[in-house]
């Protein structure tokens, strides 16, 4: 019993000794400005006590950058940017923050040197050798009296540092900045020389036609050639191509005829270095078809026209707006174009439409008459459920337009909330999943694989989505993002379902249609669905419909949070199509008995889109619904 009392007494004395211990702080006698200082604290018992560095003799309770002392140990502080005598202080948690311990420290001045060419061309990349403290967040930049830096690179990126010269010629200064308060500790003068460029093309090109543009110039990273209307303000751009693709470049003339100007623009400031005039001449077309056709029949339509990329012949209700959806056939598929007649009788129009702006170049009236039999229906069920066993990649638009509001909420916030709901309840756990995001850097065509392909972890993906932010001024690289899908989903054996969620058009000179075609021709089972969010431009919506058709998928329109949730949920469902004996798709839609496919009576094949090997024959009977199960 006495021994037990002795142990308890010794424990109590030790505890009381620790409890009564005075806080202490230890730090080096000196450190360079802006450097990391390792500070060791002991003897504190309040997790909200904190340690800081202040000028010697500073008023009690004052503090600079600090770290909480949640438990005794070593902490890192950033030394002040100004040299002089300072104190490391441990301050109590509560105002007026009494000093619990202190230790003097001398903050020494440091210097940096910079070695670079005396002159560099405007917009060019060049190397800067530097010497300096290389503290965390130190960086080397180039600036002038108006701007501390025009471009910069962190010293942690390596030595020498690779910088980009400003677009505008003149006298500049290379500067070594401390990460602490952006203090400059080394400079060197540098001259940025002017650069020129030339562009040349045919004096006249037909509307909608592709044409070659030869150019000379610096071809700095992301310099580009653009075609704008004559008299357009400087720095404006429309359709364009990066000079990195070589000379000559291929551009597509707009559908609207008139006077235009080719411009060579620099990447940073969109300064025009060279220009040339181009006249876009009008184009015409003619179209000829039968005066009437039976509902559901194939209409032979003869046409004459420019046959530009993605031009098509379509049949629409009389008076329909340009770009509205209807059965269509690309002119490249032959002449006459074999267009499927609608199932609903009435007055319609055959139209020759341009693939770029969906403008009507020619039209002819046609009347659709009832068939001898009424249409029938095919309901398709898929037992395995949405996306089970197949890979899903979501491509999310986080460009500047996603900062616009619908009601009181920003589009990006609605998209994030809806995607999180989809991840948690719409896609089975463990599904191979990838997330690509574009548009998060100002004036950038950056596209990032945020979540690499792997089994879906809903909590981790939802957390990642919650941290995403759109960036005002960021661009929309739809084509470049679709170009990367094949690599993103490499190794997937089943279907690759790609869902593109966007609220705007391609703005990075990419070719989404070509990217989708390349993806489809790769031999992989792929389906590209496009969800257009708050799309008010019917021409753009029509373009998205054509892209999704080419991708073996469907287009879904969403106007608000509720319809976006519905669109994304539907985009996960298996898609089906009904094919006649000639191989023509006569109907397409989603699996499910609530939305059956409709067709005239006859023998057909039902296919799962994206999985052409999965097909079944079906007989459509008038006014009856036939169910097909996969």
- Tell me which fold the domain 391-575 belongs to: Rossmann fold (3.40.50)
Cis peptide before 336 (omega within 30 of 0): yes
Multiple choice CATH, 286-369, 3.40.710.10, 2.60.40.1930, 1.10.260.40, 1.10.1760.20: 2.60.40.1930
Q: For residues 619 and 221, which has the higher predicted lDDT (pLDDT)?
A: 619
Q: Confidence class of residue 325 from pLDDT cuts 50, 70 and 90?
A: confident
pLDDT at 467 over 70: yes
Q: In 3-state terms, what secondary structure has residue 193?
A: strand
- Domain limits, the chain: 23-108, 113-193, 198-281, 286-369, 391-575
Distance set, CA 296 to CA 341, 378, 561, 599 (Å): 5, 15, 36, 7
pLDDT at 525 over 90: no
User: How confident is the model at residue 28, as a pLDDT?
Assistant: 96
Cis peptide before 9 (omega within 30 of 0): no
Residue of 41, 100, 46, 50 whose CA lies nearest to 72: 41
Task: Encode pLDDT of 109-143 as tens digits.
Answer: 999 999 999 999 999 999 999 999 999 899 999 99
Task: Encode pLDDT of 34-64 as tens digits.
Answer: 999 999 999 988 999 999 999 999 999 999 9
For the chain, how far is it from start to end, CA to CA, in angstroms?
80
Cis peptide before 185 (omega within 30 of 0): no
User: How confident is the model at residue 4, as a pLDDT?
Assistant: 47
13-22, 220-229, 604-613 — most confident range: 220-229
For the record, the structure tokens of 392 come out as: 């899903």
User: How confident is the model at residue 45, as a pLDDT?
Assistant: 85
Domain 198-281 and domain 391-575 have a common topology: no
Task: Encode pLDDT of 211-245 as tens digits.
Answer: 999 999 999 988 999 999 999 999 998 889 999 99
Residue of 77, 51, 53 whose CA lies nearest to 136: 77
Based on its alpha-carbon atoms, the radius of gyration of the chain, rounded to whole angstroms, reads 33
DSSP one-letter code for 539 = H
Length of the chain: 630
- Tell me which fold the domain 198-281 belongs to: Immunoglobulin-like (2.60.40)
User: How confident is the model at residue 389, as a pLDDT?
Assistant: 58
**Side-chain-side CA neighbours of residue 197 (13 Å):** 30
Average pLDDT over the chain reads 91
Task: Encode pLDDT of 388-424 as tens digits.
Answer: 558 999 999 999 899 999 999 999 999 999 999 999 9
pLDDT at 439 over 80: yes
- Tell me which fold the domain 23-108 belongs to: Immunoglobulin-like (2.60.40)
User: How confident is the model at residue 7, as a pLDDT?
Assistant: 41
Multiple choice CATH, 113-193, 3.40.640.10, 3.30.56.10, 2.60.40.1930, 3.40.50.2300: 2.60.40.1930
User: How confident is the model at residue 218, as a pLDDT?
Assistant: 94
pTM: 0.75
User: How confident is the model at residue 17, as a pLDDT?
Assistant: 43
User: How confident is the model at residue 442, as a pLDDT?
Assistant: 77
């Amino acid at each position: 019993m006495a021994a037990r009392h002795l142990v308890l007494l010794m424990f109590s004395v030790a505890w009381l000794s620790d409890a009564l211990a005075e806080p202490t702080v230890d730090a080096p006698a000196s450190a360079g400005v802006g450097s990391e200082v390792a500070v060791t604290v002991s003897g504190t018992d309040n997790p909200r006590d904190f340690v800081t560095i202040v000028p010697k003799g500073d008023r009690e309770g004052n503090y600079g950058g600090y770290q909480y002392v949640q438990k005794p140990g070593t902490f890192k502080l950033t030394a002040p940017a100004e040299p002089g005598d300072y104190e490391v202080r441990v301050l109590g948690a509560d105002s007026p923050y009494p000093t619990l311990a202190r230790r003097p420290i001398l903050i020494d001045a440091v210097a940096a040197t910079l070695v670079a060419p005396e002159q560099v061309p405007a917009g060019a990349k060049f190397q800067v050798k530097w010497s300096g403290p290389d503290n965390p967040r130190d960086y080397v930049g180039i600036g002038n009296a108006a701007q501390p830096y025009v471009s910069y690179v962190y010293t942690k990126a390596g030595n020498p540092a690779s910088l980009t010269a400003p677009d505008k010629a003149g006298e500049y200064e290379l500067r070594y900045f401390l990460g602490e308060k952006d203090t400059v500790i080394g400079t060197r003068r540098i001259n940025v020389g002017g650069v020129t460029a030339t562009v040349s093309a045919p004096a006249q090109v037909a509307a909608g036609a592709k044409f070659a543009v030869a150019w000379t110039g610096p071809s700095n990273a992301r310099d580009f050639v653009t075609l704008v209307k004559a008299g357009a303000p400087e720095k404006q751009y429309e359709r364009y191509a990066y000079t990195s693709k070589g000379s000559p470049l291929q551009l597509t003339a707009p559908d609207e005829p008139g006077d235009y100007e080719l411009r060579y623009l620099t990447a940073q400031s969109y300064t025009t270095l060279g220009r040339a005039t181009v006249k876009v001449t009008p184009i015409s077309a003619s179209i000829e078809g039968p005066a009437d056709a039976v509902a559901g029949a194939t209409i032979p339509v003869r046409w004459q026209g420019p046959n530009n990329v993605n031009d098509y012949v379509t049949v629409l209700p009389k008076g329909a707006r340009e770009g509205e959806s209807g059965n269509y056939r690309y002119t490249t598929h032959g002449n006459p174009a074999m267009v499927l007649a609608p199932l609903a009788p009435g007055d319609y129009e055959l139209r020759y439409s341009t693939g770029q702006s969906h403008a009507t170049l020619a039209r002819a009236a046609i009347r659709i008459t009832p068939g001898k039999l009424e249409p029938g229906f095919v309901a398709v069920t898929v037992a395995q459920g949405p996306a089970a066993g197949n890979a899903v990649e979501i491509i999310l638009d986080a460009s500047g337009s996603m900062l616009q509001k619908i009601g009181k909420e920003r589009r990006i916030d609605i998209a994030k909330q809806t995607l999180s709901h989809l991840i948690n309840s719409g896609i089975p756990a463990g599904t191979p999943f990838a997330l690509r995001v574009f548009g998060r850097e100002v004036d950038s065509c950056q596209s990032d694989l945020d979540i690499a392909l792997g089994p879906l972890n809903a909590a981790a993906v939802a957390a990642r989505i919650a941290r995403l932010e759109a960036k005002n001024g960021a661009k929309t690289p739809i084509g470049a993002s679709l170009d990367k899908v094949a690599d993103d989903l490499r190794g997937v054996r089943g279907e690759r379902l790609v869902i593109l969620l966007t609220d705007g058009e391609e703005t990075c000179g990419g070719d989404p249609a070509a990217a989708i075609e390349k993806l489809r021709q790769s031999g992989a089972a792929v389906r590209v669905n496009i969800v257009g969010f708050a799309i008010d431009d019917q021409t753009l919506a029509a373009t998205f419909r054509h892209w999704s058709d080419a991708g073996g998928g469907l287009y879904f329109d969403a106007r608000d949070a509720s319809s976006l949730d519905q669109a994304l949920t539907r985009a996960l469902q298996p898609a089906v199509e009904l094919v006649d004996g000639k191989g023509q798709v006569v109907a397409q839609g989603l699996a499910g008995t609530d939305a059956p496919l409709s067709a005239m009576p006859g023998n057909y094949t039902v296919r799962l889109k994206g999985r052409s090997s999965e097909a079944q024959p079906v007989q459509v009977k008038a006014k009856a619904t036939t169910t097909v199960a996969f």
